[in-house]
Structure 1
Amino acid sequence: MKSAVRRPAAPGTRRPAGAGPLHPADLDPPTGTGYAPCHHGEILQGVFLDGAGRRCAGLVTLPMAGRGSTAEFIRRTGTPPEALTVVPAGRTKAARAAALTVAECARRTGRPPEGGELRLAGDVPVGLGMGSSTSDVIAAVRAVADSYGLRLPAGTVARLSVRAERASDPLMLDGRPVLFAQREGRILETLGPALPPLVVVGCALGGGAPVDTLSLPAHEADDHDVRTCERLRTLLRRAVATGDARLLGEVATASATRGQRVLRHPEFEVLTGIARRCGAVGVQIAHSGAVAGALFDPATPGVRHRVRGCRRALDAHGIPVTRTFTTFSTFDTFGTPTSQEVSHGPAHRRGDRPARPGTPRRPARLPAL
């Protein structure tokens, strides 16, 4: 059943008491906003078996708070759907996602598909394997849906994202640890409610130069690869269930080492050596970029000193440190994580809207390391 859409009252007309806040679809032109986070590469990536026993490429990303993409979609009533522009120009994947979402929302609401202007802003570095394009795409999908007064299910957002860019990171799930089939846009397994708490010392390998993933040699998975990936999947499932940061670190290091068969970062051995000497539980890398991280258990005695020593050692070896962050957004005392909700506009969560494109972000609240 379609709900009636209110339009703004005529000038000088007072809105009735208790009418509630204006909805994006009430505005003329209808405007929606969306937000999507980024990630810090992968904890695990490889080829796994789905529920039917079929081989399927999959990954588990390392969530990272404080960075992401915001989108605003101004829907132009009465314009054809192909009259859709994006600012800044050149964000073709996000533009394609917006067009696909317009068609999806028109089908769901019975309203005509219409064009408009998509405005994007964000602070996710491009080419480092942090999901910059997926962040743009998901923010665009959410903004378009918001302009139609819809909150699309995560599965629908995933399907649209894959159609827009052929492979998608699971950023529409907002940090839930899942094994995600990036080329199919579906969850292979939900590993649990949250990763074990970690402190991550982020760095950039290869001097931070973007990685051209299309130029990398392809590696065809064989039966041994699948068995290895399934074993790591089992260990990661146990690490999440028990909150075992050390076991998670072992899985991430094994996956990162396997990724070296393709990426071949010359500093990888230096990174793993520094992490080992500083007492990290492991390392992780982006399997499609240059970003990497040394992983620390926040409950380890002297973790602050260990993290500082890791940063100094990376600097001394010419590996630029990018950011130190945690897998938990806020905290009461160091090592006691709490959670934090992320809003996506009124159609997604009733409350504060995300900042409009171009608005400075508030710095993430992180431990003082």
Structure 2
Amino acid sequence: MIPTARPAAPATLPAGTGHAPCHHGEILQGVFLDGAGRRCAGLVTLPMAGPGSRARFRRWPGTSPQALTVVPADRTKAARAAALAVAECAERTGRPPCGGELRLTGDIPVGLGMGSSTSDVIATVRAVADSYGLRLPPDTVARLAVRAEQACDPLMLDRRPVLFAQREGRVLEVLGPALPPLVVVGCALGGGAPVDTLTLPAPTPAEADAGEVRAFERLRALLRRAVATGDVRLLGEVATASAWRGQRALCHPEFDALTGIARRVGAAGVQIAHSGAVAGLLFDPAAPGLRRRVRGCLHALDAHGIPATRTFTTTEEIPHGPAHRGVDRPAGPGPARRRARLPAL
């Protein structure tokens, strides 16, 4: 699928570009009921501005769809997404599918549970669509992303807080227009070592205990209320409860220290990626003494040997849209993606 030499083909077509953000792990993840009462794995991610993936795709008309090159060559999920997106866009425009060249750049650490692979995939789909002069709707992007990587995060929806069925690529519930404003003190558990998600126990929704499903549905209702009322404290309670349930699979040794720090410095709660090592302490930006609380949090993390990463707010803007050429910087092979820490602010 990825030849070593570029086929002879016209190079006059403009390249399409695409961008996708990352996230900072989950606020809530578990097994939920859809509108028909069917069990579904679902999650709500914590949006994060800054790191992201950028893609540039140039079509080679007249070549075989298998004549696809990807730089860096190890982005196999993005390669699958490119082939799927080419087929989708060719069908929509009535043009024959063809090969092309995909180039990816990005600064999302891998293995920390920040959606790096989904970001690559969505940026790729957006770049391919842009090369055809199209802007695919989010549900189509989600469908292609699930086909490319079996499960995906809701990054195609940008900042909207949704309960998302990651294995099916569909929204179970729109929780509201936006999360309450948060200040997040990020950190990396396990020394920032990447987590191999394939080794984690992953029971299917059908295997979930009925009591567990009821517990997750209660957390869903509480999160819905937190978003509707802007209640940061309630959102923090939901995130902490979800992190506690995820801890049974992840077994982070720093978990008790992290929740203890949150209590001492007056954080609203903690959130931990359910498929990685990134974590955050959540603060209400309107709480009195916020700077003092954040400084105390950073000192406490350091005292426990937990590396702080990035302190950010959820109100920062995220660049988005597949056809905004001014947003995406020219992509190139670039250095290999970093495997550990986020840059500290």
Q: TM-score, normalised by structure 1?
A: 0.85
Shift of 1:359: 11
Q: Which residue of 1 aligns with 2:105?
A: 121
Counterpart CA distance in 2 for 1:119 and 1:133 is 14
CA contact (8 A) 2:219 2:238 kept: yes
Q: Is 1:316 aligned to 2:300, yes or no?
A: no
Structure 1 residues 285-294 or 218-227, which shifts more? 218-227
Instruction: Give CA-to-partner distance per residue, 1:110-156, whole Å, 9 cap, x none.
Output: 01111111000000000000000000000000000000000000000
- Greater RCO structure (CA 8 Å; 6+ sep): 2
Is residue 325 from structure 1 mapped to residue 312 from structure 2 by the alignment?
A: yes
Q: 1:326 to 1:358 in 2, by over 3 A?
A: farther
Q: For 1:1-369, what aligned pairs fall within 5 Å after superposition?
A: 28-219=12-203, 220-329=207-316, 340=317, 342-345=319-322, 347=323, 349=324, 352-358=326-332
Which secondary structure does the structure 2 equivalent of 1:183 belong to?
coil
1:197 is paired with a residue whose SS is coil
Separation of aligned partners in 2, 1:214 and 1:290: 14
C-alpha separation between the residues in 2 aligned to 1:182 and 1:212?
18
Computed over aligned residues only, the root mean square deviation of the Cα atoms, in angstroms, reads 1.6
What code does the residue aligned with 1:281 have? A
Counterpart CA distance in 1 for 2:44 and 2:217 is 13
2: distance between equivalents of 1:359 and 1:325?
Answer: 28
Find the residue that maps to 1:241 and give its secondary structure: helix
**8 Å Cα contact 1:204-1:321 kept in structure 2:** yes
Partner SS state of residue 74, structure 2: coil
Instruction: Please tell me the residue identity of whatever aligns with 1:269.
Output: D
**CA apart distance, 1:343:** 3.7
Q: TM-score, normalised by structure 2?
A: 0.91
Counterparts of 1:187 and 1:76 in 2: how far apart (Å)?
Answer: 35
Distance 1:359 1:89, change over 3 A: closer
Measured in 1, the distance between the counterparts of 2:264 and 2:237 equals: 15
How far the C-alpha of 1:358 sits from its partner, in A, is 5.0
Is the 2:163–2:172 contact (alpha carbons within 8 Å) kept by the matching residues of 1?
yes
Gapped regions of structure 2 (runs ≥ 5): 1-10, 335-343
Query: Contact between 2:187 and 2:308, CA under 8 Å: does it hold in 1?
Result: yes
> Contact (CA 8 Å) 2:50, 2:318: kept in 1 or not?
no
**Contact kept? 1:275, 1:283, Cα under 8 Å:** yes
**Does the Cα contact within 8 Å between 2:158 and 2:318 map onto a contact in 1?**
no
3-state secondary structure, aligned to 1:322: strand
- Aligned partner of 2:141: which letter? V
- Contact kept, 8 Å, 1:343 with 1:352, in 2: the verdict is no
The structure 1 segments of at least 4 consecutive aligned residues displaced by more than 4 Å after TM superposition are none
- Provide the aligned length of Structure 1 versus Structure 2: 323
8 Å CA contact retained: 1:51, 1:188: yes
Counterpart AA for 1:344: G
Task: Provide Cα deviations, 1:341-363, integer angstroms capped at 9, x if missing partner.
Answer: 62435x3x5x7241122599xxx
Distance in 1 between the 2:94 and 2:333 partners? 34
Q: How far apart in 1 are the matches of 2:318 and 2:258?
A: 33
Separation in structure 1 between the aligned mates of residue 185 and residue 222 of structure 2, nearest angstrom:
23
Secondary structure of the corresponding residue to residue 175 of structure 1: coil
Change (3 A) 1:359 1:118: closer
Deviation per residue, 1:289-326 (Å, 9 max, x gap): 00000000000000011001101110111100010001
SS at match of 2:141: helix
Distance in 2 (alpha carbons) for counterparts of 1:42 and 1:341 = 18
Residue identity matched to 1:158:
A
Cα separation, 1, equivalents of 2:156 and 2:201: 29
Shift of 1:42: 0.1
Distance 2:127 2:216 in 1: 36
Contact persistence 1:343–1:354 (CA under 8 A): no
Instruction: Give the distance between the partners of 1:253 and 1:341, measured in 2 at CA.
Output: 26
Deviations along 1:145-201, one digit per CA (max 9) or x if unpaired, are 000000000000000000000000000001110000000000000000000000000
For residues 23 and 51 of structure 2, the distance between their equivalents in structure 1, rounded to whole angstroms, comes to 8
SS in 2 for 1:236: helix
**1:79 shift after superposition:** 1.1
Cα distance in 1, alignment partners of residues 152 and 293 from structure 2:
35
